[in-house]
Amino acid sequence: MKILITGGAGQIGTDLLHHLHGKGAKLSVFDVAGPPEGLPPGVRWYRGSVDNPSELLDAVKDAAPEVVYHFAALLSATGEAAPHRAYAANMDGTRNALEAARLFGVRQVMFASTIAVFGPGLPDPVPDDVPLQPSTIYGVTKVAGELLGGYYKRKWGLDFRGVRFPGLINAGVPGGGTTDYALWMYVEGIRNGKYECYVGPESTCPMMYMPDALRALVELSETPVSRLKRCIYNIAAISPTAAEFAAAVKKRVRGVEITYKVDPARQAILDSWPRRLDDSCARADWGWKAAYDLDRMSDDLVPKIRKMVGVF
- Return the active site residues: 138
SS3 call for 278: coil
Query: Facing residues of 70 across strands?
Result: 6, 111
Neighbours of 54 (CB within 10 A): 9
Q: What is the DSSP letter of 50?
A: T
Q: Which amino acid is at 261?
A: K
Cα–Cα–Cα angle for 282, 284, 288, rounded to 5 degrees: 45
Catalogue the E-assigned strands of the chain: 2-6, 26-31, 44-47, 67-70, 108-114, 159-165, 167-169, 194-197, 207-209, 232-234, 257-260
Query: What's the Cα-to-Cα distance from 91 to each of 3, 235, 259, rounded to whole Å?
Result: 22, 23, 37
Residues 163, 236 contacting (CB under 8 angstroms)? no
